[in-house]
Amino acid sequence: MTGRQIRMIDVTPKDETERIAMAKGKISMRAETRELILHGEVIKGDVLALSQAAGIMAAKETPHLIPLCHPVMLTNVTVDFDLSDSDSSIGITAIAKGVGKTGFEMEALVAVAASALNIYDMCKGVDKGMVIEEIHLASKSGGKSGVYVAEERV
């Protein structure tokens, strides 16, 4: 066989541990768009409620989206929005939890990305210039590598 090969990491010998991953990101938009979202005036409906559901649903589908990602048993996924920024953005935080042999980082990251994409989809009719940015792993715990906390982003 020519070319590079891919392989899934064998997690068989790993111990099951409680694992938690938190990812963050944001979507920037015009101030007018943010106001429409906050006042429930987007024609497609409740943007934040549907974007929360989209993130949770996407986390559960992560191994179908990321080819080498192991299916994991999620015990909880949360998606929350930070509306305190004055820069016309909406912050997104997702937390994925469970017990398993591999981490939940990808599930948390996918939840943030899908939530942001859903916001974009619901609001693109009024603001095509929205920007999804800064999606990153904020923290994780569990497993052999232990605790990771990202440096504070400015």
| Residues with catalytic roles | 121
- Pairing relationship of beta strands 17-28 and 74-82 according to DSSP bridges: unpaired
Distance CA 105, CA 4 (A): 25
Place of tokens 């909406």: 90
Q: In the 3-class helix/strand/coil scheme, how is the chain assigned residue by residue?
A: CCCCCCCCCCCCCCCCEEEEEEEEEEEECCHHHHHHHHCCCCCCCCHHHHHHHHHHHHHHCHHHHCCCCCCCCEEEEEEEEECCCCCCEEEEEEEEEEEECCCCHHHHHHHHHHHHHHHHHHHCCCCCCCEEEEEEEEEEECCCCCCEECCCCC
